[in-house]
Amino acid sequence: MRLRSWNTVILSERAVRYPCETVMTDLIPLEQAHCLPRKGSDHKLGEARLAELLPQVPGWELAEVGTAITRTFRFADYYRTLAFVNALAWIAHREDHHPDLGVHYDRVVVRYSTHDVGGLSENDFICAAKAAQLYDQGATP
């Protein structure tokens, strides 16, 4: 099977499994949801929705006047830091939604924001939850 065909299958599977993006993250945990294409200000989250989603991603904070979320993940050494960064890159590739990263010897500062909507979208919270789950499942010092 060619890569293009594989992507088509995955995209159509997501469309079938999650026909309504609002229901998607309300019915299943964020870390189990998948990102969907979101463009335009219609997908920018309002204050009420931000207030609902932020408690679902403990340790993450609103930044830049509510247009981004950030979290610092700490590690014992550079090797573990880069292992986390590489695993996070795989998640970003799979979800087609990448963070901005500040990589240091013993920590990574992860920032999510959706440029195409001019602020935060549900994709940012989905990926934040996946990053936290990755860290909690063994990427800790």
Residues 23-74 pLDDT 10s: 445 678 999 999 999 888 889 999 999 999 999 999 999 999 999 999 999 9
DSSP string, 41-93: GGGS--HHHHHHHGGGSTT-EEETTTTEEEEEEE-SSHHHHHHHHHHHHHHHH
Q: Which token pair is 92?
A: 């970003």
- Residue 52 · residue 89 · CB < 8 Å: no
Residues 63-114 pLDDT 10s: 999 999 999 999 999 999 999 999 999 999 999 999 999 999 999 999 999 9
The CATH code for residues 43-136 is 3.30.1360.20
> pTM value?
0.79
User: What residue spans define the domains of the chain?
Assistant: 43-136
